[in-house]
Amino acid sequence: MPVRGRAPANLAPPPGAQTVLGCFGRALIDDDFLRDPYPAYRRLREQAPVAWSDEFFGGAWLVSRHADVDLLLRDGRFSAQRTGRWVMRGSEPRTELRGFQRLFARALIFLDAPDHARVRQVLTRAFRPADLQRLAPRLSQAIDERLEAVDAVAGFDFVSALARPLPAQAISMLMGLDEEAASSGFLEGSDELANFLGAVDPTRDQALRAQGALLPMAARFESALQRRRDSSDGANRDDVLDRLVRAERAGQIRGSAELLAQCVMLLFAGHETTRHLLANGLQILLRHPTAWQALQRDQALLPAAVRELLRFDSPVQYTGRRVTTELTLHGQTLRRGDLVVALIGSANRDPDQYERPDEFDVTRRPAPSLAFGQGPHVCLGASLTLMEAQMVFSQLLERWPCLELAGPVSAHPMGSPLYRGPLKLPVRMALDGGLKEGGLYTGDVYQTS
């Protein structure tokens, strides 16, 4: 049985360990890697499927093959509790970050059994098919209004017009928040939290900035929850906030910190993955004219196309786990307390799992990817993300079948290996018929044949 409780934080590899430095002869993360990590992933899968890297969180194992990432996400020997060293580590005690750690560590994505099962049971009720069906008309109207407000002939930035604000609006609708207030207040601080989460070795300053975003967000939620608790009209809205308040009363959610942690991370997680899927997904589709035209002819391909986008260039490239019981994997000794980074982006390009993994193919035979995770922590909001993406791309195809990129796009301006998605995506309606045949998209490089 896995041993729970605190484990030593190992910041150096065991003697004789295979290392990323030994494999590459240099650091892994550079401009080339941020632009296109897939050649490096291929090399790791082939030469060093389990390799120690000093670049990730002061020292961690990188796991790159599909079968091993799948194991890591399912196996109870790997714990999701990993925030302490992430938030609090450093040469000096970070006592000023205790408020951040208190909330951060209680979020569902960082809980193990039995707490994880207890909290997840509550949150699962927020994403029932009936709830998403009720949300769909409002979401469709929100997409329509945002697209109606732009000038496609002159061109517009798809990220600021839709990809960034829409997911926050959608999760706000589902949670029962005032959409405008929640979206604007949340977006003000979400980038600081994203920068912290996306840093492979967060600095004290990054952690403080993330705390400065997280705690005000939590305070806004506390006010909204208190209004629900004090409501005297007896109205049962049956939204996420109502369900959380009822779960708190029933003892399923234990304490204010645990309650607020779920609210904040639901809002953030429901926004961050989807914004990058929308922006990066549209970029990929517009750089694959054949795929875009296939979707114009038959929108029944959209569900498979969205899942292929998630596989081909996963919006979130990795996740972490902490080893609870020493084990050996590919000849490497993973010690109790070691941090392991599951390279989801690499796993989704593994040729042992997918035929022609480096090709983007909207007609690909369905093969589930690991973009939403696997096992007990598989993404709660996957259905909402898929629905949003399909609805957005459907409306774009109907409105502007000749949509095209309107300028050069940096595929990874965030400077983080965690996220794949542009911060800006200029697009416009082509006046000359638009998309040209014969393009191949690899990473962020568009090569014409």
pLDDT 10s digits, 23-72? 999 999 999 999 999 999 999 999 999 999 999 998 999 999 999 999 99
Q: Which pLDDT band holds residue 260 (cuts at 50, 70, 90)?
A: very high
Specify the pLDDT at position 83: 80
Specify the pLDDT at position 291: 96
Residue 235: pLDDT over 70:
no
Name the least confident of 8-12, 201-205, 282-286. 8-12
Q: Each residue of 153-164: pLDDT tens digit?
A: 999 999 999 999
Q: Each residue of 342-351: pLDDT tens digit?
A: 999 999 999 9
Residue 19: pLDDT over 90:
yes
Q: Which pLDDT band holds residue 217 (cuts at 50, 70, 90)?
A: confident
What are the boundaries of each domain within the chain?
A: 20-448
Residue 179: pLDDT over 70:
no
Phi/psi at 184 (nearest 5 deg)?
A: -65, -45
Specify the pLDDT at position 408: 79
| Cα distances (angstroms) measured from residue 383 to each of 127, 371, 376 | 8, 13, 16
d(CA 214, CA 99): 9
d(CA 208, CA 202): 10
d(CA 192, CA 176): 24
Residue 414: pLDDT over 70:
no
Instruction: Tell me if the pTM is above 0.85.
Output: yes
- Specify the fold of 20-448: Cytochrome p450 (1.10.630)
Specify the pLDDT at position 54: 94
